[in-house]
Amino acid sequence: MDTLLTAEIAANAPRYRRKSSTFIDGIHDVSNDEGNMAPAQLYSTMSGRLFHSGRIAIVMVGLPARGKTHICVSMARYLQWLGVKTRIFHLGDYRRATVGDGGQVPQDYFYPNASPTSVMLRQKILKKCREDIYAWLNHENGQVAIYDAVNPTAAGRRALAKEFAKHDVQTLFLESYVDDEEILKENARNVKISSPDFHGMDPNEAAERYLKRIQTKIPVFETMQEEELNYVKMINAGQAFFYNNVSFNYLSHRIVFYLTNLHIKSRTTFFVRAGVATEEDSYKADAPLSEEGRSYAVKMTETLIRHREQEQKQLAERTGQEVPLRPLTVWTSTRLRTIQTGEPLREKGYKVRQRSQMSQINPGVCEKLSERAIRSLYPEEVERHELDPYHHRYPRAESYHDLAVRLEPIILELEREQNDLLIIAHESVLRVLYAYLMHCSTMDIPKLKFPRDEIIEIIPAAYQNEAKRIHIPGLDPKTVPGSPEDIRIKVPGSPPGAGLAPIPGLSSPTEATAPGSTSAVTEESSVSGVTISVTRPPEKVVNKAKEMVADKVADED
């Protein structure tokens, strides 16, 4: 079979075009919802392209283990959140599809003076990848194509810029340059050494061997110095930036601004609800925590600290080295209940910061009204709300879209944060921030549920994020259910009182059983060996999509 046909079949197979449930990161989904706006999209145009900025190809540059895939996935997540039609084209996907399962490229495949056979194979793979880029930009109204490959030579980059220019596509090169040995080893440990080649090997030794193998396989790499090209050089995971000629439109400057907030260092984000307040139903009252709420804050703090210490212990056992516990920063809104929920952590010496943008969604005139009263007083508004619960707002209220736009500064600061982060907020805020990190659709966001007896943990990974839930034991069952509906109208498509749980096991939405979106749950022993009263252990999403991209861990494209 022709290798290009093989690549076409594999690159368009369901593994690359799956429909995620809300349980797993959907950043690599190919959306079929052409008419839907993105969560933080401010406007739409006839062409479907935003900012009137034309078409842009972002071309990644850099050796493996430099965080290129992490950067381009994070960038795609942000741009798609804003409504910019963005898609990632990983050259490694095309190489694997062409050589087939278990196939290997020739030894000299990456060499500048490769054999004619290797050159032909390389050109076929490159041609198919670029044909898909042009087809997506020209026929699917794509706006930003992210081309994830090494692109090691100046001559090759100049030729690529000329080729894109012939198709009326502006080119922005983005190099991740790393000469810090500690960052390189950490990247290799975190991403690459799960390859079967390094099974059972000491992580530090495996990281060093992997980096040496890269030097052998890709002997020639020229860092970007081409004065005539538009490029950004990110140095040592965001320690410094260098820009050249980046002046062609507003969207390119927006991308550069985002990159200045980005880093590739490993860290974890936790989401948790605020405790029960004395006036739980009131938005205006800003009520303090009740006695149950204060008890919840203490138990949540103890559970989180215990979980982080156990994770640190397990990491030390895997690596054979003492691993320092990463610092933890706590963010709350300016609402009294969230501040008081974070008080036990502040007393233990953790840094707690208040964020005014993280206040809960404003219910407007519907505050404290029953569903019957809302239907009687605002029948037309109810009809609009049932058609689009994400974008609709009741009189003097906020929509989830308003909340997403309000939270954009928080999202940028979240990307900038290098410590582990705990966010204590109202359920409406958690829905939006979770949806950003796990790439949920606007139709799912209003239905997400966060019970109080769960801490949700998001673990960023290079190809896609992972999620885990940590059970908080010993809570009064009355404090567990979801918060009062912001506007007491049942979201269309959900049974009374139900919603999509962001983590499996809390409910069984129909999306979870859709073909290609199976999400299984396995129990972890992360709290075994520690004497605590736990009704169920932390559970981690077994991400089937992650299994399907497991062959990317040793990627050298």
Burial status of residue 496 (CB atoms within 10 A of its CB: 0-12, 13-18, 19 or more): exposed
Structure tokens at 273: 């609800």
Compute the distance between CA of residue 205 and CA of residue 198 in angstroms, rounded to an integer: 9
Compute the distance between CA of residue 274 and CA of residue 195 in angstroms, rounded to an integer: 41
**By three-state DSSP, how is residue 424 classified?**
strand
Compute the distance between CA of residue 448 and CA of residue 469 in angstroms, rounded to an integer: 14
Angle, in degrees to the nearest 10, between helices 68-82 and 427-438: 130
Contacts with 391 (C-beta within 8 Å, 6 or more apart), sequence order: 37, 399, 400, 401, 442
**CA–CA distance from 32 to each of 29, 35, 160, 465, 517 (Å)?**
9, 9, 30, 22, 15
Structure tokens at 251: 């969207």
Cβ 252 vs Cβ 53: under 8 Å: yes
Annotated active-site residue in 148, 444, 486, 555? 148
148 is catalytic: yes
Of 399, 402, 491, 474, nearest to 482 by C-alpha is 491
Q: Which residues are catalytic?
A: 148
